[in-house]
Structure 1
Amino acid sequence: MYKNIIYCIVSIIVIFVGCENQNNSNDWKLIWEDNFDDNKIDWSMWSKTPRQTSDWNNTMSDADELYNVIDGKLILRGIKNIDYPNDTSLYLTGGIWGKGKQNFPIGRVDVRAKFTCAQGFWPAIWLMPVKDETTPDYYSELDIMEHLNFDDFVYQTLHSTYTLDGNRSNPVNHVKPEINVDEYNIYSVEIHTDSITFLTNNKITYSYPRLENLGDAQFPFDKFNYYLILSSQLGGKWVGEVNMEHLPVEMTIDWVKFFVKK
């Protein structure tokens, strides 16, 4: 009980500090943005996400109809598989990532996006670390936004070696802020040396603290550079079965911005 109280106090302190930092936008310097204003995907910074066996990417396809840029907005689609008989998946989804092309230092990421609500649809915006032989052997993942089905909220979650070992409540590793699903929303994460702060529409939703007595397995996040993943997925254990009558679906990205501290 005493330990839980200490965790709560630390989290509250971090949130107040985060609020103070958030109010001073001059703390941040924009280092890269993609506004999709050229009405095409910049393949020097992005690649189509390949299909693999995980729930989040096992329906990915490179079919051109899943990727479009219209009026300066990136559209990633999910569709019934009608026209691709050599592909055994019942439905196909589009996703892009910066793996091998993006290498951003810790700072802040903002993404303005909206998406279709549909049974079995799982759009996500998230960061994964750039790893090589010099980086530590810790797991790090920052889920800036995940949405399921017809929920009126999104998930903002972090994962580490510590949380994967079952430690998801001390401190809590996620938050579920409510959103207007019919509108664009801005989803953000700030990576600090002592905390991870999630925001929605520039309002802090949660700050996760570094706890010094638990070491880097609990807080590896400032040890890496990162690349961004924008994924549209259909089906999986978490999101559930897909209602084919709800297809096609879309996630629309207005812009992406990376910042560092001045």
Structure 2
Amino acid sequence: MKKIVNLSYTLILMGGMLWSSCSTPSQLSKGKLVWQEHFKEKGSFNQKNWSKIPRGTSDWNNYMSDEDTLYAMRDGKLILRGMANTLAPQDTAPFLTGGVYSRDKVFFGFGRWEIRAKLQDAKGAWPAFWLLPQDGKWPGGGEVDIMERLNHDDFVYQTVHSHYTHVLGINEPKKGSTGKIDPNGFNTYAVEIHPDSLVFFVNEQKTHTYPRIETDKEGQFPFKDHTFYLLLDMQLGGSWAGKVEAEELPIEMEIDWVKFYGFDQYTKGGK
């Protein structure tokens, strides 16, 4: 696999970063704010940054739909919905879900992703915020689950996936953990990608660290070799979340903002 060295901010811009929605970078203890999305558009989300996730055959995307009712902008927030399929009689899927991703549009390497959101709950609900490699395949390129919530839980799962964890089935170091949330309010979810670790947070509290280790096993820490794009999706059902109770639908997630902070000590001079 070709090694991808994390880029400088200038080269990230050349690689497809869209800066029109960025504020002036400000130095913070968590890094330098280099990109943010506050969903201030009217009518629809900014298509320079986001695309609707197409339907697939996996549990997480087999109900994805581009139906307009599943997407909304409300009071400066992006709304993604999950509902029983009464909208598209030509579609045989029993449920429809909305999701967006920043693939080919917004992607970063080392730094900190943050998402502030409020999640409605239902039996069979599976909202998620996660990262996939812009320039690699799954699972070898890695997957970072910043937030996954199931059903009516008052906690979220935060997990890493790779060839090492998924194909080889190795869970040492421990690949994930959980974090408590306010189930009825807004919470902030974050992950930091460092050359030697991934660090997860819920509401500024550190919940889990996944370190890079010395091992002769393949693919333990691919996260240093790739840039990653973000997925935001309101999923329903599947083998993990379980049966969906249609009577508890529709449900929605409200996404207040997304931010990315870069780490200068890793990116300066890179190319």
User: What is the TM-score normalised by the length of structure 1?
Assistant: 0.86
| Contact 2:164 2:217 (8 Å CA) reproduced | no
Corresponding residue for 1:81? Answer: 85
Q: Structure 1: how far apart are the matches of 2:37 and 2:114?
A: 11
Corresponding residue for 2:215? Answer: 213
1:43-76 deviations in Å (ceiling 9; x for gaps): 0110000001000000000000100010100000
Deviation at 1:138, TM superposition (A): 2.5
Matches within 5 A, 1:1-262: 25-39=28-42, 40-131=44-135, 138-214=140-216, 217-262=219-264
Deviation at 1:99, TM superposition (A): 1.1
Q: Structure 1: how far apart are the matches of 2:229 and 2:195?
A: 18
Unpaired runs of at least 5, structure 2: 1-26, 265-271
Q: Structure 2: how far apart are the matches of 1:126 and 1:178?
A: 18
Corresponding residue for 1:10? Answer: none
| Contact 2:139 2:161 (8 Å CA) reproduced | no
Q: Structure 2: how far apart are the matches of 1:137 and 1:156?
A: 16
User: Is the partner of 2:215 in helix, strand or coil?
Assistant: helix
| Contact 1:106 1:226 (8 Å CA) reproduced | no
Equivalent residues, number: 237
Q: Structure 2: how far apart are the matches of 1:110 and 1:171?
A: 24
1:165-216 deviations in Å (ceiling 9; x for gaps): 3444311101011111111000000000111000011111011111023466
User: Is the partner of 1:30 in helix, strand or coil?
Assistant: strand
Q: Structure 2: how far apart are the matches of 1:108 and 1:216?
A: 26
Deviation at 1:88, TM superposition (A): 0.3
1:121-157 deviations in Å (ceiling 9; x for gaps): 100000001116xx99923000000000011110000
| Contact 2:81 2:250 (8 Å CA) reproduced | yes
Given residue 248 of structure 2, which amino acid in structure 1 is its aligned partner?
H
Given residue 32 of structure 1, which amino acid in structure 2 is its aligned partner?
W
**C-alpha RMSD of the superposition:** 1.8
> Residue 215 and residue 107 in structure 1: after superposition, are their counterparts in 2 closer, same or farther (change >3 A)?
farther
Given residue 222 of structure 1, which amino acid in structure 2 is its aligned partner?
K
User: Is the partner of 1:163 in helix, strand or coil?
Assistant: helix
Given residue 128 of structure 1, which amino acid in structure 2 is its aligned partner?
L
| Contact 2:117 2:254 (8 Å CA) reproduced | yes
* Structure 1 runs of 4+ with >6 Å offset: none
Q: Percent identity?
A: 47
Unpaired runs of at least 5, structure 1: 1-23
